[in-house]
Amino acid sequence: MTPARGPKGRFLTGNLAEFRTDRLAFFTRCARDYGDVVSFRLLGRPVVMLNGPDLVEQVLVTHAKNFVKHFGLRLYKPILGNGLVTSEGELWRRQRKLSAPAFQGARLSAYAQVMVDCAARVADEWRGQVAGRAFDVHADMMRLTLEIACKTLFGADACPDPDVVGRAMDQGLEGIAARFRLTVPLPAWLPTPANLRLRKSLRTLHAVVAELVGARRAAIARDGAGDDLLSMLLSARDEQGRAMTPAQLLDEVLTLLLAGHETTALALSYALHLLALHPDAQTALRAEHSRVLGDRLPTYADLSRLRYTRSVVTEAMRLYPPADFLGREAVVDCTIGGIPIRRGTNLFLSQWVLHRDGRYFPDPLEFDPGRWTDGFEASLPRFAYFPFGGGPRYCIGQTFATAEAALVLAMLCRRLEFAPDPTFRLEFHPGITLRPRAGVRLIVRHPPRPDAANGSENQPVWNQLGKGSSDCAVPPMACFSPTRSATPGRGRHP
């Protein structure tokens, strides 16, 4: 393979200005102009962007031991601490092993009831308070998924105030972003406005976690240990019989609290946005719910039969992945796809780019849940679609998140109808996740009469979907027409 090429940058900062101004457009342009291996610099750090599924697999799976998380993610350690997302080595392996049982099938079945109950309450509130007018569904999805995380993972009867958590998280992320915007980052101990905002947000978030942990300790002392993740972490002991340190417990709970609810809230918000633009898809959803569920509420066991509902979630995360890229930093000299990678080089793997690649997804900018047939999935290269990462560091909450998104979507769409707000345009504010800049505002109203929604329930409605009823599902800055390559992994594309 020929040496990597890429956009020229400035002498000191490299391509930092383009990256910070519009990361999504920058990634798109890099892939379009330079193909599957792109080289650039960020503040003197060498970066290689890889845009082929085979290359992504080599980094995440085949040669995973050669890499750690990238330098950008390490900037978020002041918020996430040394939890599962940022930790490495033996500490990560230990914490991953301790946390894994909480996300396995037996517990997911019990969690599903909480998910459905919480979603039913939100649907009832919307029906009674906001039906027929526009409002920000993303704000309520953040509250909903925070409540579900607290009740399922932490065994909490009372959820922290979502507005307090949200504001503290926003302040912390903005404080880190402000430091990243500096050509020469200032030390964290300096009392700059950005550092002061970060300290304030951490005090708030640590207080929230301390309250959750304290309440769970009291419940365990009173009633014995529960089967939630926090109880497991509190009772876990290593080979020497030592409990997790208070600092490590705080980091793990904070990581799960923040990462465990925001990504699912994003997936749900973007799914509702896309459904609002495609009323035929909502009709297909209701037909499936009527056929599979009748008048009863969904359960975890129903997920295998809610095929179209799951496809809506999958397709929404294809177009709008909650994490638009992930990165790794080489800890040794190695080779990926014939390209020599020197130690210290950061590799960027963009879901935003690969999920919209016309070589793997026909009509890539169309919202088409019907594309996700067994045959299509079998033909798709393994890492053409990877919203949850892959390899040893794949997202531990993948099954939890997809089950939650499908069950919540089933509850909301069977009780409500969503339509676009003509005054709203979806814009992004990429950070550690792909956040909406000004929320996701939709019109919420009562759905059509059941007989209208169910009239075609025996017809394969969703198999006929594909061409969206609206061409505005994708912001103009993201619209491009990928050119297909006869040699996967080598051709140019946006």
* Rg of the Cα atoms in the chain: 23
pLDDT of 260-300, one tens digit each?
788 999 999 999 999 999 999 999 999 999 999 999 999 99
pTM as predicted: 0.86
pLDDT surpasses 60 at 144: yes
pLDDT of 377-414, one tens digit each?
999 999 999 999 999 888 888 899 999 999 999 999 99
Which conformational region is residue 122 in: left (phi greater than 0), alpha (psi within -120 to 50 degrees), or beta?
A: alpha
Residue 85 has a pLDDT of: 77
Q: Is 6 helix (H, G, I), strand (E, B) or coil?
A: coil
Q: Tell which residue, 444, 454, 281, has the closest CA to residue 372.
A: 281
Pairing of β 346-349 and β 45-50: parallel
Residues 6+ apart with CB under 8 A from 198: 78, 79, 171, 172, 175, 176, 188
What is the pLDDT confidence band of residue 7, given thresholds at 50, 70 and 90?
very high
pLDDT surpasses 70 at 491: no
Asked if 334 contacts 63 with a C-beta cutoff of 8 angstroms, the reply is: yes
Residue 264 has a pLDDT of: 94
pLDDT surpasses 90 at 366: yes
Q: Tell which residue, 129, 218, 204, has the closest CA to residue 162.
A: 204
Asked if 415 contacts 123 with a C-beta cutoff of 8 angstroms, the reply is: yes
pLDDT of 31-76, one tens digit each?
999 999 999 999 889 999 999 999 999 999 999 999 998 877 777 6
pLDDT of 310-346, one tens digit each?
999 999 999 999 999 999 999 999 999 999 999 999 9
Residue 448 has a pLDDT of: 74
Q: How many percent of the chain have pLDDT more than 90? A: 49
Residue 160 has a pLDDT of: 81
Residue 477 has a pLDDT of: 38
pLDDT surpasses 70 at 485: no
pLDDT of 426-438, one tens digit each?
999 888 889 999 9
Q: Return mean pLDDT, the chain.
A: 84
Can you tell me the mean pLDDT for 94-98?
79
Chain centre distance of CA 111: 19
pLDDT surpasses 50 at 463: no
- Residue with token string 């990678």: 341
Q: How many percent of the chain have pLDDT more than 70? A: 86
Residue 244 has a pLDDT of: 79
Q: Tell which residue, 314, 455, 383, has the closest CA to residue 36.
A: 383
Can you tell me the mean pLDDT for 125-133?
80
What is the pLDDT confidence band of residue 181, given thresholds at 50, 70 and 90?
low
What is the pLDDT confidence band of residue 180, given thresholds at 50, 70 and 90?
low
pLDDT of 215-234, one tens digit each?
888 888 888 777 788 888 88
178 vs 391: which has the higher pLDDT: 391
Residue 328 has a pLDDT of: 95
Residue 165 has a pLDDT of: 83
Residue 152 has a pLDDT of: 87
Q: Where are the domains of the chain?
A: 16-478
CATH 1.10.630.10 fits 16-478, yes or no: yes
Top mean pLDDT of 34-38, 81-85, 133-137, 186-190 is at 34-38
Residue 186 has a pLDDT of: 67
Residue 206 has a pLDDT of: 87
